[in-house]
C-alpha cells in the first residue's frame, strides 16, 4: 500500500522494565524459521527460503485441503473411502514408511483418515484420502498446488500427498511451511484443535488379526513445551529430520520450522530449545484491543466522508528482551479510500517500528460499510475537489 499519512504517525510508550536480552539463537539445523502469529513478527530466519524436500511435513497441505473442503461442506468427516488394493499393496510394509495399518478394501471415514495422517503420519492414509477426494493422487496434488498459490507459498510445489521422495519434484521452503501452519490455525481453528494435539491413535491390527495397534504422535513439543498443540514431523534420508510446530502461551502463538537435523533425538532437543527460546527471548506488548479504532481514513465518493480503521484482532508488538520501550506506529493506506467499502475489509496497515527491531506490519479493517454517494453527492464531491 502507498502511504497516506495525515496525522497518522505517533508514538506509543510501553511501560516495560528493561531486562537482559537473551543470547541469539544458534542451531545445527541447516534450516530454521520462527514467526510470532500474534504480531506477524519474524523472530528467526536461517536459510528460510531454501527449497527443500518436506518429507511428511507435506501432509499438512493434504490436511489443509481436506479442512477447507469440510468447511465449505464439500467433504464430511463421516464420509467413507475404500482402500484400493493397489494402494494398499504400494503403501504397506516396512519399505513404505509410516503407516496407519489400513487393510485392502476397508472402508475408512474421513475423520479416521485425518487422524491417521496427523497423528500417525500414515503414508497410506494420505493416499487413500487423496484418491477418495480427487480420484487420483496426481489430481489431488493439483488441489494442493492451488491452495499453495492462494496462500502465497511461492517457493513450494507438491507432486504427491504424503511427501514421499519423488526425485525432487515436491519442494517447499521453511517460510512457506510457516504460512501453511498459520493458515491452518487461523482458517480452521476448531478442526486444528480437534486433530493436531491428539497424542495417540489406534487403528489396524497386529499380524494374524490380533490386538488393535496404538501409535503415538511423534510431535516433539507435545507434553514437553507448555501450550504446544501441533503440527507435523517429517523424515527421509534426503530431507533429514524436520518439524513444523506451534505453541501458545498467555495468548501469544509462535510457529516454528526446523529441518535437516541428523536424528530423531536431535529433532526433539532442537525443537524444544527453539520454541522455548522464542517465548523466553521475546516479549509481546499489547498495542490495540480487537475492535479498537486506531485511526480514521478519508473516503472518496462515498455516502460518508470518513471511515474508522480498527484492529481486527488484538494487536501486539514483539520486542526482544531489553529492547527500548518507545514504539513508533504509522498507519499506511492508499488514500483517499474509494467507496464502496465493506465492514471488515482490509483497507490499511499498521506499521510498527522500534529502535531495536525491523518494522512489523499488521492489518487494519474498515469499522463500517461505506456506500457510494448518490448522483448529487458525486457532483458535490467533484465541485469541492475542483475548488480545493
Q: How far is C-alpha 345 from the geometric centre of its chain's CA atoms?
A: 21
Point out the catalytic residue in the list 56, 156, 246, 259. Answer: 56
What per-residue confidence (pLDDT) applies to 322?
61
Q: How far apart are CA 268 and CA 271, in angstroms?
A: 5
Instruction: Say whether both 254 and 294 belong to one domain.
Output: no
Instruction: Say whether both 252 and 295 belong to one domain.
Output: no
Q: Enter the pTM of the model.
A: 0.85
Instruction: Say whether both 240 and 334 belong to one domain.
Output: no
- The answer as to whether 220 is a domain residue is yes
Instruction: Say whether both 79 and 207 belong to one domain.
Output: yes
Rounded to 10 degrees, what is the CA torsion of 381, 383, 386, 388? -70
- The answer as to whether 221 is a domain residue is yes
Q: Is the bond preceding 340 in cis, omega lying within 30 degrees of 0?
A: yes
What per-residue confidence (pLDDT) applies to 167?
95
What per-residue confidence (pLDDT) applies to 384?
53
Contact between 314 and 288 under an 8 Å Cβ cutoff? The reply is yes
Q: How far apart are CA 256 and CA 158, in angstroms?
A: 21
Instruction: Say whether both 211 and 158 belong to one domain.
Output: yes
Instruction: Say whether both 224 and 344 belong to one domain.
Output: no
- The answer as to whether 361 is a domain residue is yes
Locate 234 and state its grid cell.
517429517
Q: How far apart are CA 255 and CA 253, in angstroms?
A: 7
- The answer as to whether 334 is a domain residue is yes
Contact between 303 and 336 under an 8 Å Cβ cutoff? The reply is no
- The answer as to whether 139 is a domain residue is yes
What per-residue confidence (pLDDT) applies to 179?
98
**Dihedrals phi, psi of 192, to nearest 5 degrees:** -60, -50
Question: Structural domain tally of the chain?
Answer: 2
Provide the residue-wise pLDDT of the chain in tens; the chain has 388 residues. Answer: 444 444 344 445 454 443 334 458 999 999 999 999 988 889 999 999 999 999 999 999 999 999 999 999 999 999 999 999 999 999 998 899 999 999 999 999 999 999 999 999 999 999 999 999 999 999 999 999 999 999 999 999 999 999 999 999 999 999 999 999 999 999 999 999 999 999 999 998 776 667 899 999 999 999 999 999 999 999 999 999 999 999 999 989 999 999 999 999 999 999 999 999 999 999 888 889 999 999 999 998 898 989 999 999 888 888 887 665 677 889 998 778 999 999 999 999 999 887 777 788 889 999 999 998 765 455 545 445 544 4
What per-residue confidence (pLDDT) applies to 38?
85
Q: How far apart are CA 189 and CA 181, in angstroms?
A: 11
- The answer as to whether 229 is a domain residue is yes
Instruction: Say whether both 256 and 321 belong to one domain.
Output: no
Instruction: Say whether both 117 and 239 belong to one domain.
Output: yes
Size (the chain), residues = 388
Rg over alpha carbons for the chain, rounded to the nearest Å, is 24
- 3-state SS of the chain is CCCCCCCCEEEEECCCCCCCCCCCCCCCCCEEEEEECCCCEEEEEECCCCCECCHHHHHHHHHHHHHHHHHHCCCCCCCEEECCHHHHHHCCCHHHCCCCCCCCCCEEEHHHHHHHHHCCCCHHHHHHHHHHHHCCHHHHHHHHHHHHHHCCCCCCECCCCCCCCCCCCCEECHHHHHHHHHHHHHHCHHHHHHHHCCCEEEEEECCCCCCEEEEECCCCCCCCCCCEEEEEEEEECCCEEEEEEEEEECCEEEEEEEEEECCHHHHHHHHHHHHHHHHHHEEEEEEECCCCEEEEEEEECECCCEEEEECCCCEEEEEECCCCCEEEEEEECCCCEECCECCCCEEEEEEEEECCEEEEEEEEEECCCECECCHHHHHHHHHHHHHC
Instruction: Say whether both 200 and 317 belong to one domain.
Output: no
Degrees, nearest 5: CA angle 155-179-128: 85
CA dihedral sign of residues 141, 259, 218, 226: negative
Active site residue 59: yes
- The answer as to whether 24 is a domain residue is no
Point out the catalytic residue in the list 59, 156, 179, 246. Answer: 59
Point out the catalytic residue in the list 121, 161, 246, 271. Answer: 121
CA atoms within 13 A on the CB side of 68: 17
- The answer as to whether 22 is a domain residue is no
* Domain end (from 246, 261, 276): 261
Q: At 379, which CATH number?
A: 2.60.410.10
> Which residue range(s) make up the domain with 319?
9-17+287-387
Q: Phi-psi region for residue 148, left (φ > 0), alpha (ψ -120 to 50) or beta? A: alpha
Q: At 128, which CATH number?
A: 3.40.710.10
Instruction: Say whether both 302 and 211 belong to one domain.
Output: no
Active site residue 56: yes
* Domain end (from 244, 261, 278): 261
Instruction: Say whether both 71 and 195 belong to one domain.
Output: yes
Instruction: Say whether both 233 and 98 belong to one domain.
Output: yes
Amino acid at each position: 500500500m502507498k502511504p497516506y499519512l495525515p496525522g497518522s504517525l505517533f508514538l506509543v510508550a510501553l511501560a516495560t522494565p528493561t531486562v537482559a536480552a537473551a543470547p541469539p539463537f544458534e542451531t545445527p539445523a541447516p534450516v530454521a524459521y520462527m514467526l510470532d502469529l500474534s504480531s506477524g513478527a519474524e523472530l528467526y530466519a536461517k536459510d528460510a527460503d531454501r527449497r527443500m524436500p518436506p518429507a511428511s511435513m507435506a501432509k499438512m497441505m493434504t490436511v489443509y485441503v481436506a479442512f477447507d473442503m469440510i468447511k465449505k461442506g464439500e467433504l464430511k468427516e463421516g464420509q467413507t473411502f475404500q482402500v484400493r488394493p493397489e494402494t494398499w499393496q504400494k503403501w504397506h510394509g516396512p519399505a513404505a514408511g509410516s503407516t496407519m495399518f489400513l487393510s485392502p478394501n476397508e472402508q475408512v471415514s474421513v475423520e479416521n483418515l485425518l487422524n491417521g495422517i496427523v497423528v500417525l503420519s500414515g503414508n497410506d492414509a494420505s493416499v487413500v484420502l487423496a484418491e477418495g477426494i480427487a480420484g487420483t493422487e496426481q489430481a489431488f496434488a493439483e488441489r494442493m498446488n492451488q491452495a499453495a498459490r492462494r496462500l502465497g507459498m511461492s517457493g513450494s510445489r507438491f507432486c504427491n500427498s504424503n511427501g514421499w521422495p519423488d526425485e525432487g519434484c515436491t519442494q517447499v521452503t521453511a517460510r512457506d511451511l510457516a504460512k501453511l501452519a498459520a493458515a491452518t490455525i487461523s482458517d480452521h481453528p476448531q478442526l486444528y484443535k480437534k486433530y493436531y494435539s491428539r497424542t495417540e491413535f489406534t487403528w489396524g491390527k497386529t499380524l494374524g488379526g490380533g490386538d488393535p495397534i496404538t501409535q503415538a504422535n511423534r510431535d516433539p513439543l507435545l507434553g514437553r513445551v507448555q501450550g504446544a498443540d501441533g503440527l507435523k514431523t517429517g523424515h527421509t534420508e534426503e530431507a533429514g529430520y524436520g518439524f513444523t510446530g506451534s505453541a501458545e502461551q498467555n495468548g501469544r502463538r509462535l510457529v516454528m520450522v526446523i529441518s535437516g537435523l541428523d536424528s530423531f533425538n536431535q529433532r526433539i532437543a532442537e525443537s524444544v530449545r527453539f520454541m522455548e527460546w522464542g517465548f523466553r527471548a521475546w516479549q509481546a506488548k499489547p498495542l490495540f484491543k480487537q475492535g479498537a479504532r486506531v485511526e480514521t481514513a478519508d473516503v472518496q465518493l462515498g455516502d460518508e466522508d470518513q471511515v474508522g480503521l480498527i484492529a481486527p484482532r488484538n494487536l501486539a508488538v514483539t520486542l526482544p528482551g531489553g529492547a527500548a520501550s518507545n514504539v513508533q506506529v504509522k498507519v499506511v493506506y492508499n488514500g483517499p479510500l474509494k467507496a464502496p467499502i465493506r465492514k471488515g475489509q482490509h483497507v490499511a496497515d499498521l506499521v510498527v517500528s522500534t529502535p531495536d527491531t525491523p518494522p512489523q506490519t499488521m492489518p487494519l479493517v474498515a469499522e463500517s460499510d461505506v456506500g457510494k454517494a448518490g448522483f448529487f453527492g458525486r457532483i458535490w464531491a467533484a465541485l469541492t475537489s475542483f475548488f480545493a
